[in-house]
Structure 1
């Protein structure tokens, strides 16, 4: 009871309730925006990557997915007519031009249930689907590649092992594909040299693991000269890029960087680094192991990394006992596809990244590769590596206006001037997966974004379709 001359102050009714409601609304809105991918730029400075994606129903972001996710259409069989109608509704867009094709496959039995255009098309970066499938097929996904330093007398040799993601220094921002760095390797080597009493050495570099031309003869001449692509090498650091400029001789550039790091640690390097193979009997005094093949493939598919794709083309060539060249790698990819019973009619491969406009792939080849990848544990990792609509990789900024399909499409993109493709799978409105490949190689060059959006709308139509039989 209030004392005399005291005034009891009553707490306003709802005083607690109103802030609680506001807080609940803010949290709910935040969850929705996060799930849509709208907060990626704030949280992750762009693409948040697979580990930060909330998996939509029937999609997985695990690095070792359950193949049944795509292989079995648990919600029922697909109606070919409905699938064809959903796809055809958008492929007639004038911006896509006169050469447009597609293939759709039912994961339940692997049948092609709808298609158009029997020819092969310029695939652009959807080529990486084939490269990655072959890499996972031929190389144990847990394999790593070692960058080594060998010593004999006063000569040390930096030996490239074909790590596409060797960096100068590990970033504070986590990256599952980056595990090896020259700074740590220099620290190892400097300690070993000092322990043996050596503080002055000559430095060589060995990139002999890969052979053949470093740039495809079928690439545009401007790709290397205009800083678009780094010449392929078994030894580079930061993919040959320093200060935004790509090195014309990435192995030599990596060796110069390593020499500087050794100097910082009290080791004098006499003269300039020179090309030299490690002599027989040389001792290993430093090793830097890459991330696993599974992690490397995950990143190269998600970000459409041309440099990593070309390195992996050579690694898979070596695994297939082929020369570590463009020709050896593409021959190995073709052999893997044929062994997997993938239709390779019209297939022409000149590189592993899709930069070459001489590549030709049929939509059915792409769709069958994606479908077959899901059938074995070894290659099934390719499915969750595919970018998610509106969330990750090269699809992070796409599907923004196709809100009903956000998170329900996983697909590899392909883009060159006048060329657009999309290959992956979508969940229809009933949760049934549809494997598809959409390709157009005579699009309106003046409207690349419109052509890209047209293919997105086709994929969104699959996601919106109730395509059950």
Structure 2
């Protein structure tokens, strides 16, 4: 079983970053009080309206954007509410233990409940039970993928999709760069995505009087299997996964327009095509005006880079056009808010490429582990096989997750604050939309912002919660031995834990 999440508004980080600390001991970091001001959207109508200040405008392309013809349009940012009070009283470990101990023993959580709670502004560990034990994280894995790709590539990076001249006049090679959101036209699944029809227009101009005759697909940037061996057998057919190739449109959805219209807050499943790169190539061939047998594209390699296209027939390898994805800061937001597994796998491969590793499941996992270690986090407590969390062989400790969220929120790495914008909000959005409704969990509604993870027998949640005194905490609860047929009860038991933190000062 896989989870099926939804979307959430898009707050952004700000604040001056302190000088990064050199060597940080486990959960005793000298963290600055500068916090992400919009780590939590509070549903009560109080607070100061905040828009995206600081470095975010530059990440979105305000400073050195590519030409308008080569990049997707950006929607206007949404205003959000300000965050909690960083000077609020700090809970005590004794107070947190008194609140949580009885809740962690709920039978529906199974016999392995590993949990970590820490304070964001100081990094102080407040509660732990099996906190350093690597556990199956399911989709909570996406938090590690997000941090790794933002650190390795940077929030402003855009993934290119290129067209170059083939070896013979009129031949066009469509070169995939790993953009999972690429659309065919303005009816795509992802708003503002780069489009093949724009690329086709550039190609026709660059070819001048030479008519397109054939399209070759180069999806060789990604290597290895297109499905991870640790995935459940129903992933390829269940609508939440797809073959991971360097060239695809709309996350490999067969009918993206219908998928977009029918997707709701909790269900983004859709039928996927079995060969996404060839499907994209056929669409591109049609956009170039090819018909009949000429639409039957085949895979190949782009010729070595030649000079830029000029008037007349361009030389083999000459670039005929390029479009670029939304910046990574926005792809990461979509990945987390929608729990988009295909975007997650492509983000992991971007980490691999940035670290000169093979752009494969194994390469992405190894590169993510490497970046986690470079950030001063305990890499021994993370072992990944994929970037989405669909693999049951993934392992992450709860304390690594709270360390990771603390690092992203303490201001020392402002580029990492983008992970918070997509986190679902309790009782409001995404996978938490219909949760925190019961009397025992109402305190968490609007106070919890977290990523969930679900596989059969695995239920996890990790994120942020504001206490009754206004203190911002990070928490992670991972369970990977839950009883069968207790999904709703297990989720409510998890919600009681974060709701207990929201409802008390825990002092």
Q: Please confirm whether the aligned pair reaches a TM-score higher than 0.5, indicating the same fold.
A: yes
Q: Deviation at 1:335?
A: 1.6
Higher mean alpha-carbon deviation, 224-233 vs 428-437, is at 224-233
- Counterpart of 2:382 in 1: which secondary structure? coil
Q: Deviation at 1:64?
A: 6.4
What is residue 90 of structure 2 aligned with on the other side? 77
Ranges in structure 1 where 5+ consecutive residues have no aligned partner: 1-45
Q: Deviation at 1:60?
A: 9.1
What is residue 120 of structure 1 aligned with on the other side? 134
Q: Deviation at 1:66?
A: 10
Question: In structure 1, what is the Cα distance between the partners aligned to 2:360 and 2:8?
Answer: 34
Count how many residue pairs are aligned between Structure 1 and Structure 2: 416
Structure 2 residue 283 is matched with structure 1 residue 257 = yes
Q: CA RMSD in A?
A: 2.8
Q: Deviation at 1:197?
A: 1.2
What is residue 107 of structure 2 aligned with on the other side? 94
Q: Deviation at 1:123?
A: 0.5
Higher mean alpha-carbon deviation, 348-357 vs 449-458, is at 449-458
Decide whether the 8 Å contact of 2:11 with 2:52 is kept in 1.
no
Higher mean alpha-carbon deviation, 203-212 vs 57-66, is at 57-66
Structure 2 residue 269 is matched with structure 1 residue 283 = no
- Counterpart of 1:277 in 2: which secondary structure? coil
Question: In structure 1, what is the Cα distance between the partners aligned to 2:279 and 2:144?
Answer: 31
Q: Deviation at 1:166?
A: 0.8
Decide whether the 8 Å contact of 1:71 with 1:371 is kept in 2.
no
Question: In structure 1, what is the Cα distance between the partners aligned to 2:283 and 2:55?
Answer: 43
What is residue 35 of structure 1 aligned with on the other side? none
What is residue 159 of structure 1 aligned with on the other side? 175
Question: In structure 1, what is the Cα distance between the partners aligned to 2:301 and 2:189?
Answer: 35
Structure 2 residue 213 is matched with structure 1 residue 201 = yes
Match of 1:55 among 20, 27, 41: 41
Question: In structure 2, what is the Cα distance between the partners aligned to 1:59 and 1:234?
Answer: 42
Match of 1:168 among 184, 190, 195: 184
Question: In structure 2, what is the Cα distance between the partners aligned to 1:65 and 1:88?
Answer: 41
Q: Deviation at 1:93?
A: 1.7
Match of 2:222 among 202, 210, 222: 210
Decide whether the 8 Å contact of 1:262 with 1:268 is kept in 2.
no
Higher mean alpha-carbon deviation, 211-220 vs 154-163, is at 211-220
What is residue 264 of structure 2 aligned with on the other side? none
Alignment of 1:268-347 (within 5 A): 270=294, 272-280=296-304, 281=306, 282-347=317-382
Question: In structure 1, what is the Cα distance between the partners aligned to 2:448 and 2:299?
Answer: 47
Decide whether the 8 Å contact of 1:50 with 1:61 is kept in 2.
no
Decide whether the 8 Å contact of 2:165 with 2:320 is kept in 1.
yes
What is residue 430 of structure 1 aligned with on the other side? 469
Higher mean alpha-carbon deviation, 415-424 vs 118-127, is at 118-127
Question: In structure 1, what is the Cα distance between the partners aligned to 2:451 and 2:51?
Answer: 17
Question: In structure 1, what is the Cα distance between the partners aligned to 2:406 and 2:233?
Answer: 35
Q: Is the alpha carbon distance of 1:49 and 1:74 closer, same or farther for their aligned partners in structure 2, counting shifts above 3 Å?
A: same
Question: In structure 2, what is the Cα distance between the partners aligned to 1:59 and 1:309?
Answer: 33
Decide whether the 8 Å contact of 2:85 with 2:470 is kept in 1.
no
Question: In structure 1, what is the Cα distance between the partners aligned to 2:364 and 2:53?
Answer: 25
1:22-64 per-position Cα deviation (integer Å, ceiling 9, x unaligned): xxxxxxxxxxxxxxxxxxxxxxxx7453369993278998666
What is residue 13 of structure 1 aligned with on the other side? none
Higher mean alpha-carbon deviation, 292-301 vs 386-395, is at 386-395
Question: In structure 1, what is the Cα distance between the partners aligned to 2:48 and 2:506?
Answer: 18
Question: In structure 1, what is the Cα distance between the partners aligned to 2:188 and 2:369?
Answer: 39
1:430-462 per-position Cα deviation (integer Å, ceiling 9, x unaligned): 100111101111112202122112111211111
Q: Deviation at 1:72?
A: 8.2
Question: In structure 2, what is the Cα distance between the partners aligned to 1:108 and 1:295?
Answer: 26
Question: In structure 2, what is the Cα distance between the partners aligned to 1:345 and 1:71?
Answer: 33
Question: In structure 2, what is the Cα distance between the partners aligned to 1:159 and 1:377?
Answer: 32
1:247-292 per-position Cα deviation (integer Å, ceiling 9, x unaligned): 22110111112122222xx788736211111112222222211000
What is residue 147 of structure 2 aligned with on the other side? 133
Q: Is the alpha carbon distance of 1:107 and 1:216 closer, same or farther for their aligned partners in structure 2, counting shifts above 3 Å?
A: same
Decide whether the 8 Å contact of 2:217 with 2:278 is kept in 1.
yes
Structure 2 residue 500 is matched with structure 1 residue 461 = yes
What is residue 29 of structure 2 aligned with on the other side? none
- Counterpart of 1:379 in 2: which secondary structure? helix
Question: In structure 2, what is the Cα distance between the partners aligned to 1:274 and 1:416?
Answer: 36
Larger Rg: 1
Q: Is the alpha carbon distance of 1:65 and 1:385 closer, same or farther for their aligned partners in structure 2, counting shifts above 3 Å?
A: farther
Match of 1:188 among 177, 202, 205: 202
Decide whether the 8 Å contact of 2:183 with 2:190 is kept in 1.
no
Name the one with the larger helix percent.
Answer: 1
Decide whether the 8 Å contact of 2:7 with 2:338 is kept in 1.
no
